[in-house]
């Protein structure tokens, strides 16, 4: 096959410097860096919010804040962590690594790419502005409905709900733009010879994520638009007085909300097998089985939404359908787990920080998946619904399965991005601190949840005091150890041992054929994949 060459409009580094470089950039690496930085900042913002909650829950009774403020902390924490920390982190990796992995000169639609990022800061402002004002005693603060916006509370809420609605609109636009760009890049920018079934798994994970975003984010936009018109223009979508139904909002919201879980996780499932094969020094096990499992999960993701509100009231056939279809997701997921473990099987493994995070991730995410099966059972869910068991479950999937996966990716690719090795000792310390304090935080929450402690309530019965105290201590250790993460990243950007091109002994893939850090414009001549 002939080699195709790729040229840039400007071959030289004649891009502007300073702030204008970042405001105007069309370079996928610059945009990826901005996404990742934004994500890290918002991760700390969202994390400090939840420390406020854990401080309040340290002992029974109301100590630090009134219940309204507590509710706002919970809602804004979730929205920030999901939309402003996890999703931008995955998009940042896509920007940095997809073109390198598939041998593309850049993302397919570079200006659109820039716009996708620059919508995020305004939406973060919209999301946090009423909250910040309330901190200074001005106004009545952000939305106090939790991140799910359930009416009628959200219809009656104050100006914070309106701000959150528009924040979600902007975040949605950003996600749709990012998804369009990623789908186009994957379909149109692959190096000659790289067929779809030769793509890196990360590209597969993101391709299916992008399809899920395209199918579900506009539905969320529609749902919050109906909320806005219910609030201000007299429609009756969620008002039974006019023939509407508050539960309809739950259907619309979770039609987006459940696929959102996979939107957060699929990119991670993409690069985790790559990390496993690198540090097991043997090829990925079951590539095809993994691809088909990702597709199966993507397809099932959009038909299982109502398991989030079994207790809201549904006909029995609907309950049964949503229960069985939800449980069906565990089949392709089990295939994935098998492939991940089988990739390590009899490999010559070494445990650098990315691998530590990955192995820890498999175990902890496994706990998240299994507790999800319990919640999918209609009869059991009546007991567990809205309890701390649910909180513990989705933090095992979204913190362990999402953020710890992202951290594995950060350690895996940081030397490639910066050209320096991070501090391995500190990295390992960060892993152990994170993994242990995470479990100290959330294992007690399973127990208090099973014993009946409801979520989203600032006070609790006395018998839950010890477990909550343990959980709060764990949360503060967990939060503070992330400062170590920030320190490791900053010192790695600033300097450190020079990274080789391949960085890891067992690394495979096009991104490792480039220098570390890669040149500003990479693959101006597309490689040919055999």
Partner 1 sequence: MASHSGNHYFVPHGSIYPALISVGLLSMASGFVFNVTGADTRMDGSIKNPALSYLATPGKYMMYIGLAIILVMMFKWLSAVVTESVTGQYKKWEDKSFRIGMIVFICSEVAFFAAFFGALFYMRVLSVPDLASYAPDITPYKDFLSTWPSQGPGGTVLGESYKPNPSFHPMTWSGLPLINTLLLLSSGATITWAHWGLIKNNRKQLVIGLFLTIALGITFLCCQAAEYHHAYTEMGLTLKSGAYGATFFMLTGFHGFHVTIGTLMLIVIWLRSIKGHFTPEHHFGFEGVAWYWHFVDVVWLGLYIFVYML
Residue 306 CA to residue 248 CA, distance in Å, equals 11
State the angle between helix axes of 353-376 and 405-418 in degrees (0 to 180), rounded to the nearest 10: 150
CA distance 449 to 110: 47
Q: Which is nearer to partner 1, 222 or 496 (CB)?
A: 222
* Segment contacting partner 1 by CB under 8 A, of 103-111, 141-149, 414-422, 495-503: 103-111
Exactly one of 52, 60, 67, 122 binds partner 1 (CB under 8 A); which one? 122
8-state DSSP, 340: H
Q: Which of residues 255-314 bind partner 1 (CB under 8 A)?
A: 255
- State how far the alpha carbon of 57 is from the alpha carbons of 48, 289, 443, 456, 457, in Å: 14, 44, 16, 11, 9
**Which of 86, 252, 378, 448 contacts partner 1 by CB under 8 A?**
252
Least spacing, CB of residue 32 vs partner 1, in Å: 15
Residue selected from 226, 306, 367, 392 as contacting partner 1 according to rule CB under 8 A: 226
Mind giving me the DSSP string for 376-412? HSHHHHHHHTTBHHHHHHHHIIIIIIIIIHHHHHHHH
135 binds partner 1 (CB under 8 A): no
Q: How far is the CB of 85 from partner 1 (least distance, A)?
A: 19
Which residue(s) pair with 5 in the sheet? 525
Does residue 229 touch partner 1 according to CB under 8 A? Answer: yes
CA quadruple 94, 99, 100, 101: dihedral sign: positive
The reply on whether position 476 binds partner 1 by CB under 8 A is: no
| 5 lies in the site for partner 1, by CB under 8 A | yes
Residue 172 vs 372, nearer CB to partner 1: 172
Q: Using alpha carbons only, what angle is made at residue 393 by residues 388 and 397, rounded to the nearest 5 degrees? A: 145
Binding-site member from 41, 44, 58, 251 for partner 1 (CB under 8 A): 251
Which DSSP string do the residues of 14-43 spell out, in sequence order?
A: ----THHHHHH---HHHHHHHHHHHHHHHH
Per rule CB under 8 A, is residue 68 in the interface with partner 1?
Answer: no
Q: Which of residues 202-221 bind partner 1 (CB under 8 A)?
A: 214-219, 221
- Chain residues 337-366 in contact with partner 1, contact rule CB under 8 A: none
Based on CB atoms, which residue is closest to partner 1, 19 or 462? 19
Choose which of 52, 67, 121, 479 interacts with partner 1 (CB under 8 A). 121
Angle between helix axes 28-56 and 120-135 (nearest 10 degrees) is: 20
* 114 is an interface residue for partner 1 by CB under 8 A: yes
- Which of 24, 37, 132, 386 forms a contact with partner 1 (CB under 8 A)? 24
Is 244 among the residues that bind partner 1 (CB under 8 A)? yes
Query: Which residue, 488, 477, 489, is CA-closest to 51?
Result: 477
CA distances to 334, 340, 367, 444 from 61, rounded to whole Å, are: 43, 45, 31, 19
Q: 3-state secondary structure string, 114-134? A: HHHHHCHHHHHHHHHHHHHHH
Positions in 137-196 near partner 1 (CB under 8 A): 138-139, 159, 162-163, 166, 169-170, 173, 176, 179-181, 183-184, 187-189
Nearer to partner 1, 105 or 474 (CB): 105
């Amino acid at each position: 096959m002939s080699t195709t060459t790729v040229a840039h409009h400007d071959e030289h580094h004649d891009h502007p410097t300073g702030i204008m470089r970042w405001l105007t950039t069309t370079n996928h690496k610059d945009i990826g860096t901005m996404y990742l930085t934004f994500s890290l900042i918002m991760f700390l913002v969202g994390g400090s919010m939840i420390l406020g909650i854990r401080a309040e829950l340290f002992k029974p009774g109301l100590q630090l804040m009134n219940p309204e403020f507590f509710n706002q902390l919970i809602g804004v924490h979730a929205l920030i962590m999901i939309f402003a920390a996890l999703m931008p982190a995955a998009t940042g990796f896509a920007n940095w690594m997809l073109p390198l992995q598939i041998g593309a000169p850049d993302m397919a639609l570079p200006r659109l790419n820039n716009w996708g990022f620059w919508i995020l800061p305004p939406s973060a402002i919209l999301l946090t502005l009423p909250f910040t004002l309330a901190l200074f005693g001005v106004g009545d603060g952000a939305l106090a409905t939790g991140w799910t916006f359930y009416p009628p509370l959200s219809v009656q809420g104050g100006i914070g709900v309106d701000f959150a609605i528009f924040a979600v609109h902007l975040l949605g636009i950003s996600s749709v733009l990012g998804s369009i760009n990623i789908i186009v890049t994957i379909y149109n920018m692959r190096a000659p010879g790289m067929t779809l079934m030769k793509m890196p798994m990360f590209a597969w994970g993101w391709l299916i994520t992008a399809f899920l975003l395209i199918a579900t984010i506009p539905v969320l936009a529609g749902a919050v638009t109906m909320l806005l018109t219910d609030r201000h223009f007299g429609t009756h979508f969620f008002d039974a007085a006019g023939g509407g139904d508050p539960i309809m909002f739950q259907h619309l919201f979770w039609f987006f909300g459940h696929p959102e879980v996979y939107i957060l996780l699929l990119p991670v499932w993409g690069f985790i097998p790559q990390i496993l094969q690198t540090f097991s020094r043997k090829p990925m096990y079951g590539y095809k089985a993994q691809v088909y499992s990702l597709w199966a999960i993507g397809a099932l993701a959009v038909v299982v939404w109502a398991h989030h509100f079994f207790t809201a009231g549904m006909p029995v056939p609907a309950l049964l359908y949503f229960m069985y279809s939800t449980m069906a997701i565990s089949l392709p997921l089990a295939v994935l787990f098998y492939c991940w473990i089988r990739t390590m099987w009899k490999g010559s493994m070494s445990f650098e920080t990315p691998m530590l995070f990955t192995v820890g991730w498999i175990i902890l995410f496994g706990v998240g998946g299994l507790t999800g099966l319990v919640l999918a059972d209609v009869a059991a869910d009546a007991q567990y619904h809205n309890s701390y068991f649910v909180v513990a479950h989705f933090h095992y999937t979204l913190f362990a399965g999402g953020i710890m996966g992202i951290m594995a990716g950060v350690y895996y690719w940081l030397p490639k991005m910066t050209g320096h090795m991070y501090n391995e000792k500190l990295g390992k310390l960060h892993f152990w601190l994170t993994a242990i304090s995470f479990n100290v935080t959330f294992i007690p929450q399973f127990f208090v949840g099973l014993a009946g402690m409801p979520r989203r309530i600032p006070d609790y019965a006395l018998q839950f005091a010890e477990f909550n105290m343990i959980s709060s201590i764990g949360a503060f250790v967990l939060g503070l150890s992330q400062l170590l993460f920030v320190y490791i990243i900053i010192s790695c950007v600033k300097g450190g041992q020079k990274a080789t091109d391949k960085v890891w002994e067992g690394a495979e893939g096009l991104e490792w054929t480039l220098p570390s850090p890669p040149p500003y414009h990479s693959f101006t001549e597309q490689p040919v994949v055999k």
